[in-house]
Amino acid sequence: MATREWNPGELLEISGFFWKTCVLQAAVKLDVFTVIGDGRPTAGEIAQKVDGAVNGVERLLNALVAMELLAKTDDKYTNTPSGKALLAKDSSKYLGHIIMHHHHLLESWSKLDQAVKSGKPQRTRSSFSKEEWRESFLMGMFNMAMGLAPRIVPAIDVSSRQHLLDLGGGPGTYAIHFCLSNDALKATVYDLPTTRPFAERTIQQFKLADRINFMDGNYLEDPVAGRYDVAWLSHILHGEGPADCRMIIQKTVDALEPGGMIIIHDFILNNSMDGPLFPALFSLNMLLGTESGQAYSEEQITDMLAAAGARDIRRIAIQSPNDSGIIVGYV
């Protein structure tokens, strides 16, 4: 591969990109896009509504205009159509939860050097952190999965399946989309008890409470009760070390009927562990946030599945914005 040539401008763009990150996150945190709504308020009017200092709010708004996230005419600010659709709380496409989750990761990322030196996390695991952070994490997962599930679920054939286990299913977004794709399918979302209210709310929102139930459990400590003919493990392996991943996969395989299908969805590295970019960065995010989590390669996941007795293991081709991938096996 040809060596990339860098110029100072490109390097400084990477180094300073967090300024833009912070502008977006502050605007979401202060709920600027919802406050503006369909109106044309001045900086002073917005400052009053967000309980901010006019000199600060005005500069934030002007930076948002410069970033083309807002528009400004005659000292009045308006939402752009996409800004309103994606960043105002009353929109069904609201991405604020995942943006706030990213905001909560910032402090730990600023200590990446310390994590690299010590090999130790620099924050509490999102699943076990305080309520407000857990909500952004879990509903952030909903934000992400709502974008991806309608695209990847059709690529996976569950048409002959009857009971899906969504292990570490969070708010249940994938269980919901699998059930929407197959009227005969029931699903069980298995997750920590603290996740239950979020999952139940989401399942209710899609009117699927008669087909999707929530099971409290800790997959590191508890058994996986019930029998299933398909299991979906999305973005859970990266939170655990290799030994726990093997144990989780074994528990799942043991809960499957003969002929059952196990599907792993995660940020999958290539076998030399140095790309694609997002999984490589995500592995650092797991260094910062977990005791032993990491991104795994296709070879590592395949080996874990084979060790648990899965066969016919193969990768399903999907297009995903963050280079997530899918590996399936059968028992």
Ligand X SMILES: C[S@@+](CC[C@H](N)C(=O)[O-])C[C@H]1O[C@@H](n2cnc3c(N)ncnc32)[C@H](O)[C@@H]1O
User: What SS3 class is residue 212?
Assistant: strand
The pairing of strands 163-167 and 212-216 is: unpaired
Task: Rule CB under 6 A: choose which of 43, 60, 115, 145 binds ligand X.
Answer: 145
Which region among 27-35, 97-105, 167-175, 275-283 touches ligand X (by CB under 6 A)? 167-175
Per CB under 6 A, the segment of 15-23, 114-122, 216-224, 279-287 that binds ligand X is 216-224
* 251 contacts: CB under 8 Å, gap ≥ 6: 219, 223, 224
Work out the angle between the directed axes of helices 54-66 and 43-50 (0-180°, nearest 10): 110
Exactly one of 54, 192, 280, 318 binds ligand X (CB under 6 A); which one?
192
Output 64 or 230, the one with its CB closest to ligand X: 230
92: which DSSP letter? T
138 near 166, Cβ under 8 Å?
no
Q: Is 153 in the site for ligand X (CB under 6 A)?
A: no
Q: Which stretch binds ligand X (CB under 6 A): 83-91, 116-124, 156-164, 234-242?
A: 234-242
Mask of contacts with ligand X, 104-143, x by CB under 6 A?
Answer: -----------------------x----------x--x--
Judged by CB, which is closer to ligand X: 39, or 226?
226
d(CA 273, CA 206): 38
Give min distance, CB of 234 to ligand X, in A.
Answer: 3
Q: How far is the CB of 220 from ligand X (least distance, A)?
A: 4
Are 188 and 215 contacting, i.e. CB atoms less than 8 angstroms apart? Answer: yes
Q: Which of 110, 114, 118, 218 touches ligand X (CB under 6 A)?
A: 218
Beta carbon nearer to ligand X, 64 or 288? 288
Q: Does 235 bind ligand X (CB under 6 A)?
A: yes
Q: Which is nearer to ligand X, 25 or 285 (CB)?
A: 285
- What is the C-alpha to C-alpha distance for residues 35 and 48, in angstroms, rounded to an integer? 10
Residue from 25, 43, 185, 191 in contact with ligand X (CB under 6 A): 191
> 202 with 191: CB under 8 angstroms?
no
CB of 197 to ligand X, least distance (A): 12
Give CA separation, 166 vs 55, 121, 178, 262, in Å.
Answer: 48, 27, 10, 10
Is 178:199 a contact under the CB 8 Å cutoff?
no
Three-class DSSP category at 269: strand
Stretch that binds ligand X, among 76-84, 162-170, 203-211, 249-257 (CB under 6 A): 162-170
Q: Out of 27, 98, 153, 236, which residue is the one contacting ligand X (CB under 6 A)?
A: 236
Q: Count of residues binding ligand X (CB under 6 A)?
A: 20
Sign of the four-CA dihedral 292, 294, 300, 302? positive
Lay out the site mask for ligand X across 168-187 (x = CB under 6 A, - = otherwise).
Answer: xxx--xx-------------
SS3 content of the chain, % helix, strand, coil (to 5): 50, 20, 35
- Residue 78 in the binding site for ligand X (CB under 6 A): no
Nearer to ligand X, 30 or 305 (CB): 305
Does residue 319 contact residue 158 with C-beta atoms inside 8 Å? no
Give me the residues that bind ligand X (CB under 6 A), please.
Answer: 127, 138, 141, 145, 168-170, 173-174, 191-192, 195, 217-220, 234-236, 239
